Chains A and B, each alone.
Chain A
């Protein structure tokens, strides 16, 4: 729940973040300049209001029968014009600033997306999806809102405070002293309270985070909880989190509850002081009643923005913290750029060679330690081995999702880093265990990767993947929209869809990483001929749990302990009675 997680944190590099945020505002400098002008105008007008009201009241001072109506009319008309103008300008101002805020938000969102598309896959493997998304959905929102409202607020506060101050001075300088005495009190108090409540607020966020995390986890495992009749007990555990969160909320709120009334108290004291002192001045004949009236109105205007200062500064701090998080993402190192004279890999033959490839995701945990492999064009290479041995890592290296720590990978006789990244990846078709479909029609999902495919080709691919019949049973056939994460179709059918996608894609090299793990064995058998067509003439890298699917591989690599433990054909490895043999025979135990 983002609104709670990061509300109160402080930016670490305030200055740098501020400068960078300002650079985003740079192209709206004309707009911002206009905003400043409008702001001055709007606030100036609202300041003149009480002055005019005071003048109008002074014009009545004569009392019964002696009201100077001409003056009253004039001031009233001026007031009316003033208030209409001020309302229009206020609206224009918020319209303008909102436009700027929203535009910056849009630009930031689009920058983040562009950045994400250029980040290496490793970034996504090591960062939580929810965290990345909250940058866009929450952080940018905070920034955009802050730009829309806080700039105006600051401007109007400054203008109102100075304006009111000047106006009060004009009415009565000695009386101003009475008000000004209160200012240090305001500042000291709000600073004191901010220091006091901030840790309470972060404790509250932390407690909420823990409670939300717990609830999320329990709801996800709701069936398991019911199966073990664990409902009551998990509710008891939840109550602990709930109590903690509620108590933290209360503790923070208990302190925060003092701020508003206390600031209000200062305002009332100013009022009492200016009224008392004003009356005393009146008795001495220093001031008239109208002047006291407008002075009191100004003193209210003067203290109003000061109340706001605490609020705004909190908001600005959290906006800066949000901006810092967004910028941190924008600063992430990008995927290695293509070397300057990179060549396009067009119609690859598919000769892949791994030469002494070392790789580790974290330095202390080596995954591959000197893998050598020569896959000639058109060969079927199967990779087997226990979970975590590095089967998928090899695929990651082939696709350049990661680059080897040392060693070389050659495609068609050239080190693969000499090709452009896009053309290298385009040379592979890929079906992964984690099937991926997006919110869109089935047709678009199959045609993804080949937008130029004809309808006939798409249907042919679907037929080959044995999914056509199922698609035709759906209410809207190929136009059926798959919902988010494909919830309305089964895992197996999703996998068939991605197989159809790969069939349509038709590249010269093929990667199948547990491509049929979610397809039942009968269907798998039915699509086997299609898979064979798909694999025909291509260099294929196949990872599979079901050993039956890879028996006809040209070469089977058994990975273990960072190395190739064994390699050879099925028959060779069976004869060897080594690791592969043991793995294979365990199927019948």
Chain B
């Protein structure tokens, strides 16, 4: 909740203003029954028609004022909600895009998205509602009680006796209702998960004719959901009739006690009539508070989830100081080891602890390094470390003689053009996807697209560079997407070119043409290529062979064919036919 307050504080004068208006509006609302009481009790018996009409007019005037100030206050409240949420979302977005790799992994992508969308929406609603109902309900409650007390203190004490009982109801619901709803949410997640699994795996399910099995699995989850939902609903349906009952019992007591006081001549019966009106106001206020309470638990949970991410923004990777060592090669890995922080909890076996262990290599300016090895052996981790998405656990990485941890991360990354495994094509024009915010001319973009072997395809569309990719590049094939992101990497003429499995969706021919284009047009770039195919790395200056996070071979293709059994093994598994073909 402190996060909501933090954002509200910036608009405290606006909040104060809207709350003040709301305060007077609510007071006005209370004033109307007061006038009513006077009219019925004191004026009607005087038979003064003018005075009755005057009071009636006063009530109408009051109602008008209440209406206009309520509207104003509500509108101001949504203005505050709008501004607060805008600030909050802006910060949340900025923090999320700047999260380090381990922070991102810790929260997970789906959770970050739902914090941005559903949670921020809950907070927005809450900020809007709390300024309206949060003021109105307590004022109506307190005001109703005070007015009732002024009217007749002893009678209102009777009504107040019911407060502890109602507090018990609220307590009971908060104790039991919220866990029940969490339970429901878990069951919803389960139903959704099974559904999602079946949709994504529909081919397998149908191929194995497992439809009935899946339906049974789903029905079980569905049944559990219905049951938990019903239990939660049955509990949450309690407070309303209970609160009503307690207040109504209070009302009966007021009438009984009131009868005695009328009998002793302490009050007139008109007092009880007005009391009944106040009673209705108090009833409404209590039910309103109940709603605020439910809303608060929901929005509080959302605000905390957002706050968690926002506080991650304060933990930025440290920038160390480091003298430039001009004598070392352009890129150097010095005995680098690394383990993913969050994976340690799930995978315990000791040999998996380090994602990479004791990796060392050098690349001179303009040279190229190929990295090859089995899935999950740590190839991508090396790229992540070089780009400082994660910090090394041991050892260090130097770029241009300076530790990567000594760079401003943006300066470091500006040296690089990168293609990730399953890289993203954004819902934007091809031009924007390639330029990606960099001030590149159309010629640069076209040249990069040509190098990536996709220019002719882009030009085959009428819109050319303005051709729009749909969300997640759904209107492009896997190979087309990959070539667009390769063009993005090439377009800035980066000092360092990083290709992580960048040609997995390309056929051999396109892959070869791509490598040729890089050789010819980007010869001064220092490159690191992660690949599964020998053909993608065999032409590199040096090749690093990895196995289970360790380097098992390092050298040129010829050297590795001599010395590295695993490399030979990979070679033969892929090129098995090469000898036959040439023979």
Contacts and interface: CB of A to CB of B under 8 A. Distances in A.
A64 B199 contact: no
A36 interface: no
Contacts of A386: 507
A242 B89 contact: yes
Ranked 9 nearest A-B pairs via Cβ: A492-B375, A276-B56, A221-B424, A64-B265, A261-B70, A257-B74, A272-B59, A589-B512, A268-B63
B251 A250 contact: no
A325 interface: no
Interface in B262-315: 262-265, 268-270, 272-273, 276-277, 280
Given A53-B276, A217-B427, A60 B505 contact: no
Contacts of B219: 110, 113
Given A215-B117, A388-B477, A231 B94 contact: yes
Contact of A583 (B53, B75, B507, B577): B507
Interface stretch (A15-23, A26-34, A154-162, A293-301): A293-301
A249 interface: yes
B277 A283 contact: no
A398 to B, nearest CB: 10
Given A521-B570, A551-B576, A268 B206 contact: no
A246 B244 contact: no
B96 A121 contact: no
- Band of interface residues on B: 35 or more
Interface in A464-516: 473-475, 484-485, 488, 490-493, 498, 505
- Band of interface residues on A: 35 or more
B64 interface: yes
A322 to B, nearest CB: 16
Interface in A159-182: none
Given A83-B245, A475-B347, A258 B199 contact: no
Contacts of B207: 399, 425, 428, 430
Contact of B66 (A1, A268, A292): A268
A171 B377 CA distance: 87
Interface stretch (A95-103, A310-318, A360-368, A531-539): A95-103
B97 A272 contact: no
Interface residue SS majority, chain B = helix
Given A475-B349, A525-B569, A242 B86 contact: yes
Nearest to A430: B207
Given A49-B248, A289-B40, 5 more contacts: A113-B222, A278-B40, A436-B201, A438-B194, A473-B352
Contacts of B268: 63
Contacts of B572: 525
| Residue of A102, A223, A570 with highest tally of chain B CB at under 10 A | A223
A296 B97 contact: no
Given A220-B472, A521-B532, A589-B508, A490 B252 contact: no
Interface in B489-505: 492, 504-505
Interface residue SS majority, chain A = helix
A87 B71 contact: no
A249 B83 CA distance: 11
A94 interface: yes
B199 A133 contact: yes
B442 interface: no
A432 B203 contact: yes
Given A67-B262, A583-B509, A293 B273 contact: yes
A269 B569 CA distance: 90
A219 B116 contact: yes
A474 B200 contact: no
Contacts of A49: 248
A269 B56 contact: no
Interface string A114-131: 101110010010000100
A233 interface: yes
B93 A67 contact: no
Contacts of A99: 230
A519 interface: yes
14 contacts: A64-B263, A67-B263, A94-B240, A113-B215, A137-B191, A212-B113, A215-B113, A220-B424, A297-B277, A428-B207, A473-B352, A505-B208, A589-B508, A589-B535
Interface in B513-541: 513, 516, 532-535
Contacts of B82: 246-247, 249-250, 253
A24 interface: no
A213 interface: yes
Contact of A522 (B270, B414, B569): B569
A523 interface: yes
B153 interface: no
Contacts of A331: none
A296 B270 CA distance: 13
B381 to A, nearest CB: 12
Contacts of B99: 222
Contact of B117 (A1, A98, A230, A234): A1
Given A246-B85, A265-B67, A586-B512, A279 B43 contact: yes
A548 B206 contact: no
Contacts of B581: 574, 584-585
Contacts of A474: 347, 349
B121 to A, nearest CB: 7
A582 interface: yes
A385 B573 CA distance: 21
A224 B436 CA distance: 10
A238 to B, nearest CB: 5
Interface string B404-429: 00000110011010101001101100
A28 to B, nearest CB: 14
A102 B248 CA distance: 31
Contacts of B206: 121, 399, 401, 425
Contacts of B67: 261-262, 264-265, 268
Given A229-B414, A238-B90, A401-B206, A490 B273 contact: no
A588 B579 CA distance: 12
A257 B351 contact: no
A432 B204 contact: yes
A4 B122 CA distance: 11
Interface stretch (A72-80, A350-358, A371-379, A406-414): A72-80
Contacts of A265: 63-64, 66-67
B212 to A, nearest CB: 8
Given A249-B78, A265-B67, A282 B509 contact: no
B237 interface: yes
Contacts of B77: 257
Interface stretch (B154-162, B253-261, B391-399, B444-452): B253-261
B252 A79 contact: yes
Contacts of A278: 40
B508 A520 contact: no
A275 interface: yes
Contacts of A283: 44, 47, 49, 52
Contact of A224 (B70, B420, B516): B420
A90 B241 contact: yes
Given A220-B424, A432-B203, A548-B577, A520 B373 contact: yes
B16 interface: no
B208 A121 contact: no
A347 interface: no
A462 B256 CA distance: 81
Contacts of B532: 520-521
A103 B516 CA distance: 64
A457 interface: no
A242 B109 contact: no
Contact of B59 (A234, A268, A522): A268
Interface in B419-468: 420, 423-424, 426-427, 436-438
Contacts of A321: none
A443 interface: no
| Residue of B53, B258, B577 with highest tally of chain A CB at under 10 A | B577
A8 B467 CA distance: 33
Given A60-B269, A90-B244, A275 B59 contact: yes
